[in-house]
Structure 1
Amino acid sequence: MNYILFDGPQRNDLLPFTFTRPVADIRIGVLTIREKWENLLEERTSTKTEDHLAGKWPLKVSEKNILIDSSVIPTKSLVEKIVSLNSNEKLIKGDKLIAYFQSGEKNIDVSSLEPINFEEEILTVDNTWDIFSKNGEAIELDFEMITKGRSSAKIDDSNFVKAVENIFIEEGAVVENCSLNASSGPIYIGKNATIMEGSLIRGPFAICQGAIIKMGAKIYGPTTVGPYCKVGGEVNNSVFFQNSNKGHDGFLGNSVLGEWCNIGADSNNSNLKNNYAEVRLWNYNTENFARTGLQFCGLIMGDHSKCGINTMFNTGTVVGVSANIFGSGFPRNFIPGFSWGGSAGTTTYKLEKALETMELVMKRRDVELTSHDRDILKHAFDYSAKWRKA
């Protein structure tokens, strides 16, 4: 059987992250959504996504295909239902299409398929704020899947540890003279990760392969530090996708950072309005501010965006792809992609200059900025133009 993860209509509500990746490659919990599906299916997947992403994530079609909505977080029981689908069936949860069978390359009328209702609750990522607000549940699911039947590496005696049964350390990780409190949720420490001395970690928490927590950091769960990120200061209920840095003091709370982001020293975001009201977030799909239903909501930052030292972000700020933010005062709570400036105003960050910087940043970690990447970033640049100032 060939498994395809498709971007459903919610992909536009997940911008700016889906400017530069399919929904399946969003990280929530320990793993990306794709990694979760491939782990449980024990099969590789391909992607049905937007044309500008298809070069980097090509679609593979065979005689027998099952297409799965990639906004759905898999569980063992859900996977069992999906792999048993017959050629005339689709799996649904209420009015949500989860998966369906397709023969060959010809698209089918999904409405004509026999519906099979999935009885259990499902976890979905439908909005940007779901990534941090549902991160605790996702960490719990991933922790159970990753660690089942395995033994943790030894925890160094220099650490203060609480609820040791909820802590798992992979080979090559270095954790010394730290506080690891897993009484409120599991703590997962990935291969070759480092948590420097004096750090205070409260679960649910995940640090992925090769990532670093700087000395004296204070991390409140549910928080995920993705592969090769560097994080310091105070962090609460936030998700770092991969290769992003917040290496110094300053607060980040109820937030999501994509890949290749950098937060300058002593930068802070607000995650609670002064009047304690519900936070609204910019939505690219409606071109308006959407109700989140949340009282705590911080910073949403797309790939390759950066801010200078002492930057202040208002509650519920959305930053697009490759913005460069600096200066005193609070910038707007929606900063379009490829903007250059801050509270005093912004201009366009020229695409050629932005690509030059990206290439240098990625080269430091031996990662190539490919022609596919350039095409994707040009699409994000063009798409964001209507909201930018010249």
Structure 2
Amino acid sequence: MNYILFDGPSRNALLPFTYTRPVADIRVGILTIREKWESYLGYITTTVTEDYLADKFPMVEMEENIMINASYLPNSELAEHIKHLEENQAIFDGDNVIAFFAKEGQDDIDFNAFERIEYEGEILKIEHTWDIFSKNGDAIKNDFELITKGRQSAPIPSSVNTIKPENIFIEKGAKLEFVTLNASSGPIYIGKDSEVMEQSVIRGPFALCKGATVKMAAKIYGPTTIGPYSKVGGEVTNSILFGYSNKGHDGYLGNSVLGEWCNLGADTNNSNLKNNYAEVRLWDYESGRFAKTGLQFCGLMMGDHSKCGINTMFNTGTVVGVSANIFGSGFPRNFVPSFSWGGSSGFTTYLTKKAFEVAKVVMARRNIEFTEQDAAILEHVFEESKQYRRD
């Protein structure tokens, strides 16, 4: 069977992260949503997404296809239901479709003509940007069970101080000495070829993905995920770095999500709680205004390729778009549009030519090419986000 993940109605609510990737390639827990589905289904998946992303994330259609709403995170029960879908059948979660059977070229889907199967089991769904960190604990636990089932952890070095070592899994090639790992509140996963430097203190649930680094004497509270080849230092609470992003120095990051290729300058701090303890509002791309989150704790949402200088301060509930460059004293406003250059005193447009020059250098340091596809995607984001910039 051919499985295709589609963005679904939550795509715009997940901006700025879905400016540069399909919903399926959001990382929550240890794995991306796509990696989870492929593990449960045992098949490679492709994607239905925005046209400007389709060259980099193509769809492969066959005579018979199962379409899956990528906002939903898989579990064993749901995956089995989906594997047994037949023609003109669809699985629903209330009014929302989770998955359906489609024939090649079947463009107009009338679900009234489908046999409706209600899924009544427990399920995780990523509908808003803040779901990425607020549901990360459950996602880490589920991924931990999936990845480690039937496998043996590498030995925990004798210098490592542990609590609940049975909830700790270390992949081959990982380096860690003279650190504290407390897995009493949730599992701790240390990925292949990653490193936890000495005197770091980590409380689970926690995931350190392949090639990532925790710098010396870092303090990390779960649920936190450090994506592949990212670096973190200082103090981190309930946050996610998708991959190839750096918070390498002292400073605080809490209840936050960073996309790929982001960099936080030394002593950058974000607020995750308002002074009056009120509900946090966050910029909503769909409505074009700030919307309620229902959360008391909510920090920074930063899109791919965005950076900030040393001593940058982010207020509670700040959204930064793609390829923004922020610097200077004071708090920048709570919504920084994509391709913005500046800080609290104001912003100008960060031209794509200059942004691409930086991206090429940054990615080359990790032996990854900044391709024409990448440039075309960012050019589209530049144009689409023009409405939010004020020069």
Structure-2-length-normalised TM-score: 0.99
2:30 maps to a residue whose letter is V
2-structure distance, mates of 1:97, 1:69: 7
Superposed CA deviations along residues 205-227 of structure 1, whole A, max 9, x for unmatched, are 00000000000000000000000
Alpha-carbon displacement from aligned partner over 1:251-282 (angstroms, at most 9, x marks no partner): 00000000000000001000000000000000
Contact 1:257 / 1:300 at 8 angstroms: preserved in 2? yes
Percent of residue pairs identical: 65
The match for 1:219 is 220
2:58 pairs with 1:58: yes
- Equivalent AA in structure 2 for residue 267 of structure 1: T
Q: CA deviation at 1:104?
A: 1.1
What amino acid is aligned across from residue 323 of structure 1 in structure 2?
A: A
Distance in 2, Cα, partners of 1:148 & 1:378: 43
How do residues 1-390 of structure 1 correspond to structure 2 at under 5 angstroms? 1-107=1-107, 108-390=109-391
Q: 2 CA distance for matches of 1:289 and 1:305?
A: 21
**Amino acid in the other structure paired with 1:33:** I
Listed one character per residue, the Cα deviations across residues 136-192 of structure 1 (whole Å, up to 9, x for unaligned) are 000000000000000100000101100011000000000110000000000000000
Report the Cα distance in structure 1 between the residues aligned to 2:24 and 2:111, rounded to whole angstroms: 21
| Code of the aligned partner of 1:73 | L
Residue identity opposite 2:9 in structure 1: P
- Give the CA deviation at 1:103: 1.1
Look up the equivalent residue of 1:38 and give its one-letter code. E
- Superposition deviation, residue 110 in structure 1: 2.8
- In the TM superposition, what whole-angstrom CA distance separates every residue of 1:118-152 from its partner, at most 9, and x where no partner exists? 11021000000000000000000000000000010
**Which 10-residue stretch deviates more, 111-120 or 238-247?**
111-120
Contact 1:100 1:110 in 2 (8 A): no
Deviation at 1:111, TM superposition (A): 3.2
Amino acid at match of 1:179: T
Which residue identity does 1:259 align to in structure 2? E
Contact 1:243/1:259 (<8 A) preserved: yes
Q: Which amino acid aligns with 2:14?
A: L
Opposite residue 196 of structure 2, the aligned amino acid is I
Structure 1 residue matching 2:385: 3-state secondary structure: helix
What is the CA–CA distance in structure 2 between the aligned matches of 1:63 and 1:290, rounded to whole Å?
Answer: 42
1:58 maps to amino acid: P
Check whether the contact 1:62–1:105 (CA below 8 A) recurs between aligned residues: no
Q: Which consecutive unaligned segments of at least 5 residues does structure 2 have?
A: none
Q: Which amino acid aligns with 2:340?
A: S
Query: Runs of 4 or more off by more than 4 Å in structure 1?
Result: none
Displacement of 1:389 = 1.8
Q: Distance in 2 between matches of 1:54 and 1:112?
A: 29
Can you list the C-alpha shifts for 1:338-388, whole angstroms capped at 9, x where unaligned?
000000000000111101110110011110111111111011111111111
2: distance between equivalents of 1:370 and 1:67?
Answer: 29
C-alpha deviation, 1:325, in angstroms: 0.2
In 1, distance between residues paired with 2:192 and 2:112? 45
Instruction: Calculate the TM-score normalised by the size of structure 1.
Output: 0.99
CA RMSD of aligned residues (A): 0.6
CA contact (8 A) 1:177 1:197 kept: yes
Letter in 2 for 1:155: I
SS at match of 1:129: helix
Q: Provide the rounded CA distance (Å) in 2 between the counterparts of 1:91 and 1:182.
A: 36
Question: Which amino acid is 1:319 matched to?
Answer: V
Separation of aligned partners in 2, 1:166 and 1:193: 18
Task: Read off the aligned partner of 1:342 and give its amino acid letter.
Answer: G
Q: Distance in 2 between matches of 1:8 and 1:352?
A: 32
Query: How many residues in Structure 1 have an aligned counterpart in Structure 2?
Result: 390
AA aligned opposite 2:330: G
Unaligned runs of 5+ in 1: none
* Partner SS, residue 82 of structure 1: helix
